Amino acid sequence: MARESTFHPSRAAQPTTDSSGAQVDWQDLSRRLHGALLRPGNPGFEDARKLFNPLHDDHVPAAVVQCESALDVSNAVLVAANRVPLAARSGGHSYPGYSAPHGGLVVDMRRMSAVSVQAEGTVTVGAGATLRDLYSALGQANRCVPAGSCFTVGVAGVTLGGGIGVLQRKFGLTCDHLLTAEIVTADGRRLTASAARTPDLFWGLRGGGGGNFGIVTEFTFSTDPAPALTVFVVGFPAGKVTEVLSAWQPWIASAPRELWANLNIAGGDPPGCRVAGCFVGPSSACGPLLDDLVSRCGVLPARRTLQDRDFFNAMRFFAGRPDRESFVASSRVLSAPASDPAAVTTLLTGRAGLALILDPLGGAVADVDVQQTAFPHRKAFATAQVYATATAASEVETAQSVAEVVAGLAALGIGGGYINYIDPALPEWPESYYGPNLGRLRSIAHDYDPDKVFDFAQGLRRV
């Protein structure tokens, strides 16, 4: 059993050299942990190191710490600080694979995944919890928190990047419900970040992105009563993207905040599209809104589904498959509706396997000022995710296609980017992700991580 003591580097045993040449005393760290320390060749290491995207299977860390407590996280940070690259891993959905630094230390949070709904309506969430863990516990308690859709995504990453999702127009972003965050900083301290205690740090944790200020070990959120929901899909025939996009934009902009509906444009020759979404209320009230969309489009849908569901089953409707998936992705942000829908259609023409997913903002998201939290896109019309399936053989070609669409959107005046869809190839990424909040975020990162312990290719200590 590991000792309940705080590790300090000056008291460490003489370090050994790992295969990457870094000076780390893995044996000493292992003795201090409640959880397991896995090294290459150890049973379970191969499974523990892999992320959601198989294209990152070539990221081989020097070790994985399977943390069971905040003390484990603190010891891992202190022993590895400035010796090897260091990154936290929860859901493992980092698009570029930043949560598995090659030759570094993965601080695996997945054993810290408890979710507890309190009687007064708050919920505490371990940083290793997935959205499925969160939604399951909330559903049983008849409460809700707005968050993302994919069930295998980690709550931590969603929250720290802001947290867009299907209930955001009614209830706001995930980070808008954050009350406190337990965090281990670069010097190994365990802090409780809140608006009262650490206003700058708490501000940065609400949209400043994961991996920049420390490793969050637990979140506390406010919740709302779980509403009755309607989920729906309206699929349109291929070749009608311009008409649907032209109608969808003013329709969703004028819709009540109870309605969220995204537009998924599938590349092809010709491209196709569908509108899918969630309505806070019964299907009897949602149906007329969909009738209005169809009328505006002037296109008869190829299919239409409309279902009343409770909170958990509505979230499960959007969950997707849990299997690992190879993909390349990026993002842009529409500050206003696209002025040339036909040009957007052209960008997707002939690009089978690539999708442009437009998720509307507005409503409760825009109720919060741009600089009230670190999330900068409060007044934008929608986020745009460019997502393409790939294989190891097609990765380079697929990445080029994604980059061409991203550049094409920029040429149409669609700039910016969403930090949770982080992309190393995105031009001017610091300004794109953080906008007017970049300067304050850079200052906070310097204050809490002056020695760049949590440094990575697109970290705030790089700007």
Mean pLDDT, residues 408-430 taken together: 96
**Tokens matching residue 413:** 């005046």
Q: How confident is the model at residue 22 (pLDDT cuts 50, 70, 90)?
A: low
Q: How confident is the model at residue 220 (pLDDT cuts 50, 70, 90)?
A: very high
Q: How confident is the model at residue 321 (pLDDT cuts 50, 70, 90)?
A: confident
- 350 occurs within a structural domain: yes
Same domain, 24 and 42: yes
Residue 4 has pLDDT above 70, yes or no: no
- 190 occurs within a structural domain: yes
Q: Which of 168, 203, 225 is the last residue of a domain?
A: 225
Within 10 angstroms of residue 47's Cβ, the number of other Cβ atoms is 9
Mean pLDDT, residues 312-332 taken together: 95
Mean pLDDT, residues 190-199 taken together: 98
pLDDT at position 7 is 29
Same domain, 372 and 273: yes
- 321 occurs within a structural domain: yes
178 forms bridges with which residues in the sheet?
A: 221
CATH number, residue 55: 3.30.43.10
Residue 13 has pLDDT above 50, yes or no: no
pLDDT at position 3 is 29
Angle made by CA atoms 113, 119, 124, in degrees to the nearest 5? 25
259 forms bridges with which residues in the sheet?
A: 279
- What does the longest C-alpha to C-alpha distance in the chain come to? 73
Same domain, 376 and 259: yes
Instruction: For the chain, give the percent of residues with pLDDT over 70.
Output: 95
Same domain, 88 and 134: no
pLDDT tens, 411-420? 999 999 999 9
- 3 occurs within a structural domain: no
CATH number, residue 377: 3.40.462.20
Please give the full DSSP string across 328-395, using - where no structure is assigned: EEEEEEESS--S-HHHHHHHHBT-TTEEEEEEE--GGGGGS-TTTSS---TT-SEEEEEEEE--TTTH
Same domain, 380 and 282: yes
d(C-alpha 339, C-alpha 409), whole Å: 11
d(C-alpha 242, C-alpha 341), whole Å: 5
Angle between helix axes 341-348 and 241-253 (nearest 10 degrees) is 130
Same domain, 285 and 429: yes
372 forms bridges with which residues in the sheet?
A: none
Same domain, 79 and 120: no
Q: Which of 85, 108, 131 is the last residue of a domain?
A: 108
Same domain, 139 and 274: no
- 343 occurs within a structural domain: yes
Residue 19 has pLDDT above 70, yes or no: no
pLDDT at position 172 is 98
Residue 17 has pLDDT above 60, yes or no: no
Same domain, 99 and 127: no
Residue 229: name the closest of 283, 300, 292, 291 by CA.
283
Same domain, 160 and 239: no
Residue 463 has pLDDT above 90, yes or no: no
Range of the domain at 425: 229-435
pLDDT tens, 148-179? 999 999 999 999 999 999 999 999 999 999 99
Question: Is the pTM of the predicted complex or chain greater than 0.85?
Answer: yes
- 344 occurs within a structural domain: yes
Q: How confident is the model at residue 320 (pLDDT cuts 50, 70, 90)?
A: confident
Q: Which of 203, 225, 247 is the last residue of a domain?
A: 225
pLDDT at position 23 is 83
Q: What is the mean pLDDT of the chain?
A: 94
What SS3 class is residue 448?
helix
Same domain, 282 and 210: no
pLDDT at position 10 is 29
Residue 457 has pLDDT above 90, yes or no: yes
- The answer to whether 411 and 339 are in contact (CB under 8 A) is no
Residue 360 has pLDDT above 80, yes or no: yes
pLDDT at position 15 is 37
- 456 occurs within a structural domain: no
- 15 occurs within a structural domain: no
What is the total count of domains within the chain? 3
Within 10 angstroms of residue 333's Cβ, the number of other Cβ atoms is 22
CATH number, residue 155: 3.30.465.10
The sheet with strand 259-266 has its strands ordered as: 303-309, 229-236, 272-280, 259-266, 354-360, 382-389, 327-334
Please give the full DSSP string across 136-194, using - where no structure is assigned: HHHHHHTEE----S-TTSBHHHHHHT----TTHHHH--GGGGEEEEEEE-TTS-EEEEE
d(C-alpha 324, C-alpha 303), whole Å: 28
What SS3 class is residue 59?
coil
pLDDT at position 89 is 98
Residue 128: name the closest of 145, 144, 115 by CA.
115
Mean pLDDT, residues 206-220 taken together: 97
Mean pLDDT, residues 95-107 taken together: 96
Same domain, 164 and 90: no
